[in-house]
Structure 1
Amino acid sequence: MEDISDVEIIAPNFKRRLSGVTSTIIQLVPVQRALGQKVATLGPGLPASLPHIGYSALLRLWGRPKNRALRLWHARRNVEMLPAIVLRDILRMKLRIVFTSASQRKHSGWSKFLIRRMDAVIATSNRTAAYLEVPSTTIMHGIDTQRFYPADDKMAAKAALGLAPDKKIAGCFGRVRHQKGTDLFVDTMIELLPMRPNWIAIVAGRATAAHVSFENELKDRVKQAGLFDRILFVGEHTNIPDWYRALDLFVAPQRWEGFGLTPLEAMATKVPVVATDVGAFSELLVTGEDETGILVAANSLGDMTQAAAAFMDDPERAKLAGERGLARATDSFSIQGEASRIGAVYEKLLSDTAAG
């Protein structure tokens, strides 16, 4: 438990179920702390290893932290904005509020009401910023390039996972469900693999209870196509960077996505990417002359099949795209860079307050 007098930024998490927002907090807070940002979490559903404060510490928010005029509250959901507004505007606590928006849809009236009362707003992509009606700073998510990096020996990386080292591998990672487009990846591979005997495909990820029947239907489809030994459902793994390092092609087939880190994770492991035009994918990938991947229309099986075949049948194009993707991920999308840019937003608020 952190001493509230040493905490300058509170990162609340008021949702028990694991989500993309929760994952962001888990990954980002240790990096922020390493950069000297005095952040602590508040709420359930987070690892005990993260610095945190209890709800009783909120009673001390009328007081100032050491060396600062006030504290910051970094909300990422409506349910986290509202209590901060109460603390700041009704209880008159020494607090300013930052909100990060990842939504790519028109906000409800209630959300607009809350967002208008923020002291600073961060958008996770330019598409997200376009839905906001207040000034915002775009700071895209980053990844841990100490975890996601290329394999020194691709064949050894495959063998370490029990995969055939002489085979090329296409992968699709994430929750197995319709929204994530797992069926589009499977159907793409059913179309392409019979004519490409040196390729296999991997689906890595978990199907929650509500989506087990969907996964079973896909497995039946694969079996009926006679590809049960070449399209593999390997489940969920904690060592997912090792699975990226075994890939020769990554496909992100989502029908909808708030942001989506999987293309970045693939790029950081020097793997070319085919992705649908959803979430922030169009802002992560470079297409055209300096391509790092191919962007296709969402829900278009034909476009996805054609794009995947383009990389599978042109090893030099795939190699160059992978190399450019690695450079782009490490130069522009490290989680350290994300934390530094968020820290600049924090510092501006704290400095403006001090000047005032």
Structure 2
Amino acid sequence: MVDISDVEIIAPNFKQRLSGVTSTIIQLIPVQRALGQKVAALGPGLPDSLPHIGYTALLSLWRRPKSRALRVWHARRNIEMLPAIVLRDILRMKLKIVFTSASQRKHSGWTKFLVRRMDAVIATSNRTADYLEVPSTTIMHGIDTQRFFPAHDKAAAKAALNLPSDKRIAGCFGRVRHQKGTDLFVDSMISLLPQRPDWIAVVAGRATPSHQGFETELKEKVKAAGLAGRILFVGEHTNIPDWYRALDLFIAPQRWEGFGLTPLEAMATQVPVVATDVGAFSELLVTGEDETGILVPANDLTAMAGAAASLMDDPERTKRAGEQGLSHAIASFSIKGEATKIGEIYEKLLSSAT
């Protein structure tokens, strides 16, 4: 626990289950603290190593922090906006509220009601901003290049994971479910691998209980195609950067996505990307002369397989796209840059108090 009098920004996490929002909070707060932003988390589902406050500390929000006239509450979900509004507007606590939206769909009337009462709104992509009916600032997610970086020795990176070091590897990482397009990745590999004996494929991620039947069907399809030894389901891993470093091609086959960090994680490890045109993927990838990968329409198996084949069959293009992806990720999508821009929003609100 940290002393509430030293906390200027509260980052609530009111969802127990691990999600992209939770992951964002976990990765951002240490970087924000290193930049001098006095942030602390509130709520369940977060590691003990993260600076946090307890619910009883909220009773102290009538009092200002040591060096400011008020605090900032940074919400990322409806269930985090509502209590902040109650604290600020009904209980008259000294708060300003920031909301970050990653949604790319029309908001419900309830969400619009909450968002209109924010003091500042952040959109994680330009597409997200288009769905907001209030002024917003676009700040895209960044990547931690201390965790995600290229392999010094690709063969050794593969061997460390008990993968064949003499094979090239295409990967798809994330939850195993229809929304994530895992079946599209598997079907594209079933069509491509028989003609490419030097390639194998890896699916890394967990199927939750409601999606285990979907995963079982995919495994049976792979077995029926005679590719059980070449399309590997390796489950969920905490050392996911090591798995990226073993790849030669990453495919993000999502049918829908709010933002989607996986292409950035791949680019930061110098791996070229094929991604569907969902979420923020079109704003992350560079196509054309300085390509970092290839963008394809969502739910288009033919286009996905064709894009993957064009990279799998052209080692020079793959190498060049990987190198350009690494440069692009470092230059444009550092997590430090994201934290700095968010900090500017905080500072504006904290300094506006009289």
With the length of structure 1 as denominator, give the TM-score of the two structures: 0.98
Equivalent position of 1:220 in the other structure: 220
Equivalent position of 2:113 in the other structure: 113
Distance in 2, Cα, partners of 1:43 & 1:248: 39
Equivalent position of 1:349 in the other structure: 349
Distance in 2, Cα, partners of 1:305 & 1:110: 41
1:155-201 superposed Cα distances (whole Å, 9 cap, x missing partner): 11111111111111000001111110000000000000000010000
Equivalent position of 1:166 in the other structure: 166
Q: Which runs of 5+ in 2 are unaligned?
A: none
Deviation >6 Å, runs of 4+: none
Distance in 2, Cα, partners of 1:155 & 1:41: 40
Which runs of structure 2 are paired with 1:128-139 in the superposition (5 Å)? 128-139=128-139
Equivalent position of 1:140 in the other structure: 140
Q: Which runs of 5+ in 1 are unaligned?
A: none
Equivalent position of 1:98 in the other structure: 98
Distance in 2, Cα, partners of 1:42 & 1:156: 41
1:139-164 superposed Cα distances (whole Å, 9 cap, x missing partner): 00111101100011111111111111
Equivalent position of 2:192 in the other structure: 192
Distance in 2, Cα, partners of 1:130 & 1:295: 21
Equivalent position of 2:238 in the other structure: 238
Equivalent position of 2:62 in the other structure: 62
| Secondary structure of the structure 2 residue equivalent to 1:61 | helix
Larger mean Cα displacement after TM superposition, 305-314 or 343-352: 343-352
Q: Percent identity?
A: 82
Distance in 2, Cα, partners of 1:246 & 1:85: 46
Equivalent position of 1:249 in the other structure: 249
Equivalent position of 1:285 in the other structure: 285
| Secondary structure of the structure 1 residue equivalent to 2:319 | helix
Equivalent position of 2:326 in the other structure: 326
Distance in 1, Cα, partners of 2:273 & 2:337: 22
| Secondary structure of the structure 1 residue equivalent to 2:52 | coil
Distance in 2, Cα, partners of 1:155 & 1:19: 32
Offset at 1:278? 0.4
Distance in 2, Cα, partners of 1:161 & 1:17: 28
Equivalent position of 1:34 in the other structure: 34
| Secondary structure of the structure 1 residue equivalent to 2:352 | helix
Offset at 1:352? 2.0
1:208 aligns with 2:216: no
Offset at 1:34? 1.1
Q: How many residues align?
A: 354
1:11-52 superposed Cα distances (whole Å, 9 cap, x missing partner): 111111111111111111111111111001111111111111
Offset at 1:219? 0.6
Residue 159 of structure 1 aligns with an amino acid whose one-letter code is A
Distance in 2, Cα, partners of 1:326 & 1:148: 10
Equivalent position of 1:310 in the other structure: 310
Residue 168 of structure 2 aligns with an amino acid whose one-letter code is K
Distance in 2, Cα, partners of 1:172 & 1:193: 15
Distance in 2, Cα, partners of 1:109 & 1:85: 16
Distance in 2, Cα, partners of 1:45 & 1:199: 38
Offset at 1:289? 1.2
RMSD of aligned Cα (Å): 0.8
Distance in 2, Cα, partners of 1:83 & 1:161: 45
Distance in 2, Cα, partners of 1:257 & 1:176: 14
Residue 275 of structure 1 aligns with an amino acid whose one-letter code is A
